[in-house]
Amino acid sequence: MPISNDKMPKKYDLEERTAKFGENIIRFAKKIPMNSVTQRLIPQIVAAGTAIGSNYCEADDAESGKDFKHKIGVAKKEAREEKYWLRIITTAVPELENEAKILWQEAKELHLIFNAISKKVSAKSLEIRY
């Protein structure tokens, strides 16, 4: 876990939140029984769930406004995709539905956050042009 030099924890640390989400997705994926259906779903859940945080980190270190906007957009898409895969996994493994719903809610919140950031960046781009 990263060590912070700040005495007070950040009230809202999106990098940490997305990392924890990715970790929770990995833990969840390990609970999914392997069979002919889930062997294709598990990699999708892990890929989308962990890509949210990695793309946010890339956005945070973006080299330009255009790069930032693109990476935030990818993080937003991955969050939306994760909601889809979590929905599908509940059909394949109904006994994991309750845990999937909790993860789905977090994916939804992350999607909404990245959507808001994306809209704000787009609005600022328009302001600069005109």
- Under CATH, which number does the domain 14-129 receive? 1.20.1440.60
CA angle 15/20/24 to nearest 5° reads: 150
pLDDT tier for residue 8 given thresholds of 50, 70 and 90: very low
Residue ranges per structural domain of the chain: 14-129
pLDDT tier for residue 125 given thresholds of 50, 70 and 90: low
Q: Is residue 77 pLDDT above 90, yes or no?
A: yes
Q: What is the pTM of this model?
A: 0.84
DSSP for residue 130: -
pLDDT tier for residue 122 given thresholds of 50, 70 and 90: confident
Continuous segment of H or E residues that includes residue 93: none
**CA 126 to the chain's CA centroid:** 27
Task: Judge residue 77's burial from the number of C-beta atoms within 10 Å of its C-beta, 0-12 exposed, 13-18 middle, 19 or more buried.
Answer: middle
pLDDT tier for residue 1 given thresholds of 50, 70 and 90: very low
SS3 labels along 29-72 = HHHCCCCCCHHHHHHHHHHHHHHHHHHHHHHHCCCCHHHHHHHH
Output the average pLDDT for the chain.
Answer: 89
DSSP for residue 12: -
